[in-house]
Amino acid sequence: MPELGRAALLVTLGLSLYALVAGSAAAQLGRRRLARSAQNALVASFGATAVAAAVLLSALLRNDFSFEYVARTTSKALPTAYTISAFWGGQEGSLLLWLLVLTGFGAAAVTLNRSWARDLIVWVVPVFAAISTFFAFLVVAVASPFATQPAPLDGAGMTPSLQNPYMLVHPPLLYLGYVGLSVPFAFAIGALLSGRLDERWLVATRRWTLFAWAALGIGQLLGSHWAYVEVGWGGYYAWDPVENAALMPWLAATAFLHSVMIQEKRGMLKVWNVLLVIIAFSLSLFGTFLTRSGVVNSIHSFTQSSIGPWFLAFIALVVIVSLALVFWRVRQLRSPTKLESPVSREAAFLYNNLLLLALCLAILWGVVYPMLSEAVRGEAVVLGRSYYDFFLRAFGLPLLLLMGIGPLIAWRRASLRSLATTFRWPTLVAVLAGVVLLLLGAGSSIPGLVAYTFSTFVLATIVLEFARGTRARKALGATSWPGAFTSLVSRNRRRYGGYVVHAAIVLLAIGIAGSSAFDSVAEAKLTKGDSMRIGDYTLVYRSLSERSGPNATEIRATLDVRRGNRDLGTLKAGKNAYTIEQQVSNEVGIRSDRLTGEDLFVIAEQIDPDGSVYFRVFVKPLVNLIWLAGLVFLLGSVITLWPDRREQRRLVARASEVGIPATH
Amino acid sequence: MTLALLLAATLAVACVVAVALPFLREPEPESDALEDLDDEERRHLELLEARDRALSALKELEFDHRTGTISDEDYRAQVGGMRRDVAAALQALVPESGEGQPPDARN
């Protein structure tokens, strides 16, 4: 039924255009029914896009190779789960997913907020509609997932590295994050257009921003784990442009989530916050552009790409119009309050913002530099790992330290004597940890040692904050210590959920420092019975096996692993040869030590016909803390996202005082 | 093909009805004007936000002092100013509510 899919997308385009034109007219002329009609069009566009998505999904599941997209991304032998993931595996399908999530989020955000912020929502609808018009236009006219052809006997299959369970959740999570950032953007632009620059746009979008940010964060960690276990090069983050594409909006959104607190508490940084929302959304568009335009490979493939020029034009339009609106409203955005002291919580958050944005811009420069150099000099010059590592250390380490300092300083101003008292214990613990680590030999990497010391400092401040808060809640009448702890967290979920997220970032920092600054590597070509050593480990190559899987021939080398005199069992590493795709993938062997968080990581780089194998082996200390950080990050995100009834009651009471209907 | 076209037509008609619904429900309304906050109500909203901001800041300072996150010295330096902010925010709301009835509830 490609006709139904095409028709549904045409309907979506029509509805989006109508919502844009009618919504703008209704907002400008103050027409109630027209505004409601535009809102209904936005909601209906989600329904129409869902029909198109259902048609594509059905075609994928039926192996209907008369759809060009289905034939290009799947094959009959592809397991069902990966056939579903092919929905977002190609350009046209992923653009349709963008549109589906966008219209869904737009419909939900407008419906949930239209009662208590209806004068603002009227202006938000055309902004959502403008974005969905662009994406609907792309899938209708430029990159349709419903193009047809005479059906071949079988499809081309899927890239082997994408045939992994992580691909079922990693890309959709990134899309939820990318598209989720359109909600704060639409509300911010709506507020600028309408001049309703009170706090309602922030309140309406707070949880959406948190959700988008959490989805991007978890999506990236899952992507890193996928790269670690599937791509088979021995690492988890390569500063690849596509990886950076997701990191940049996440950094901008992180800066916004911190600076928005300054606006809420002190009424400051209104211009800055609007700018951060614009930057985060523009970067999410840029991220989609990077992954889908082909520009990553070459500037020439960009010009040949069907969507590249459209995307670039849309990003330019978004940036220019948004900045013009900020400039237009800048007098209304000026804050009556000023920064009172450079030693205060708002100042610490501001430093944090500047560092996050500086890191973001450094990464952006690293991403665009090859394209610029190719455009200007005809040769793409890629900035390597050392460029990114330098800025990660230069901006990341102070950020880590600020994560411990910021939450413990008073708002407005703090005395130096007071700081000395507040940070006495965390500093003592951190210095002690640094000295012990130095004595244990961690001085071989100074950045690694600094990262560990700062991490200890931050963890100490977090533990101290939870302990002090729980004690205070107990003193205020909580019946038990667990009750006091629960009351503490539930009464201020954003603050204490934020601390849990900080703890996750600390675990991440320790994991990254351990696995990159203190790792070791060994390489050897072994025949059966040969052994090699790395650190305390001894590996003996025992056998080579081959079997036929559902869609690939699987070759595995088996190694016996010993640590000192202790037998740790066997480890298998090898390759999969995919028949239809005509590609070979590395299938690595990993042995994790749950107690120390260390991994023994084996790659069978080359398997010769005589049975000898060229192995590359890594020992990665503490690498598992990175994945543990993902779980802690998820916990912290859920705590911060959990609905806060007290806050809702306060907002409802405030709204009813002004005469706005009290439903939220 | 025919079924697909039939389904597509049904979808299009359903969407047109959804879009036209506000006009079908109210063909001749008494007023078609958007209900918007007037300048006075907007000012009132800003004052309420300022009040809530001041109260929240004072509450956080009190709790941080109780936990020991904020030292006695910093607390003493700030609590007076914050209490004055709260008083000023509340005071700014008094003349408005004293002038007459609160704005009519909107539906």
pLDDT of A133-166, one tens digit each? 999 999 999 999 999 999 898 888 888 878 888 8
Chain A neighbors of B77, CB-CB under 8 A: 413, 415
A263 and A189 both lie in a single domain: yes
Please, which residues have CB within 8 angstroms of residue A89's CB and are 6 or more apart in sequence?
Answer: A73, A158, A159, A162, A167, A171
pLDDT at B102: 39
Contact yes or no for B33 and A31 at CB 8 A: yes
* Mutation site for A-interface testing, chosen from B40, B67, B90 by largest number of A Cβ within 10 Å: B67
Q: Which one of B11, B36, B60 has the shortest CB-CB distance to A30?
A: B36
A309 and A172 both lie in a single domain: yes
A58 and A18 both lie in a single domain: yes
Contact yes or no for A411 and B19 at CB 8 A: no
A118 and A252 both lie in a single domain: no
Contact yes or no for B11 and A265 at CB 8 A: no
**Which B residues 30-89 touch A at CB under 8 Å?**
31-37, 41-42, 44-46, 48-50, 52-53, 56-57, 60-61, 63-64, 66-71, 73-75, 77-78, 81
A119 and A168 both lie in a single domain: no
Percent of chain B with pLDDT over 90: 24
Report yes or no: A292 and A242 within 8 Å, Cβ to Cβ.
no
SS3 assignment for A185-226: HHHHHHHHHHCCCCCHHHHHHHHHHHHHHHHHHHHHHHHHHH
**Which domain range does residue A121 map to?**
1-160
A151 and A171 both lie in a single domain: no
- How far does the CA of residue B87 sit from the closest CA of chain A (Å)? 16
Q: How far apart are CA A536 and CA A531, in angstroms?
A: 13
Give the residue with greater pLDDT, A38 vs A477: A38
Residue of chain A minimizing CA distance to B71:
A418
Contact yes or no for A30 and B33 at CB 8 A: yes
Q: How far is CA A211 from CA A178, A403, A447, A642, in A?
A: 11, 21, 32, 11
- pTM (predicted TM-score): 0.91
The identity of residue A658, as a single letter, is V
Contact yes or no for A119 and B48 at CB 8 A: no
For residue A409, tell me if it sits in a domain. no
Contact yes or no for A40 and B71 at CB 8 A: no
Residue A300: both structure tokens together: 């020439």
A313 and A193 both lie in a single domain: yes
Q: How far apart are CA B11 and CA A139, in angstroms?
A: 18
Chain segment B65-77, per-residue pLDDT in tens = 988 888 888 888 8
Residue of chain B minimizing CA distance to A27:
B34
Check residue A577 and report its DSSP letter. E
Three-class SS state of A503: helix
From A28, A9, A170, select the one nearest A100 (Cα to Cα).
A9
For residue A408, tell me if it sits in a domain. no
B48 has a pLDDT exceeding 60: yes
Domain count along chain A: 3
A156 and A168 both lie in a single domain: no
Chain A neighbors of B66, CB-CB under 8 A: 472, 475-476
For residue A169, tell me if it sits in a domain. yes
pLDDT at B105: 36
Contact yes or no for A1 and B12 at CB 8 A: no
Contact yes or no for A413 and B103 at CB 8 A: no
pLDDT at A525: 94
Average pLDDT over residues A343-349: 91
Chain A neighbors of B8, CB-CB under 8 A: 3-4, 7-8, 11
For residue A479, tell me if it sits in a domain. no
pLDDT at A468: 92
* Last residue in a domain, options A138, A160, A182: A160
Please, which residues have CB within 8 angstroms of residue A54's CB and are 6 or more apart in sequence?
Answer: none
Report yes or no: A284 and A291 within 8 Å, Cβ to Cβ.
no
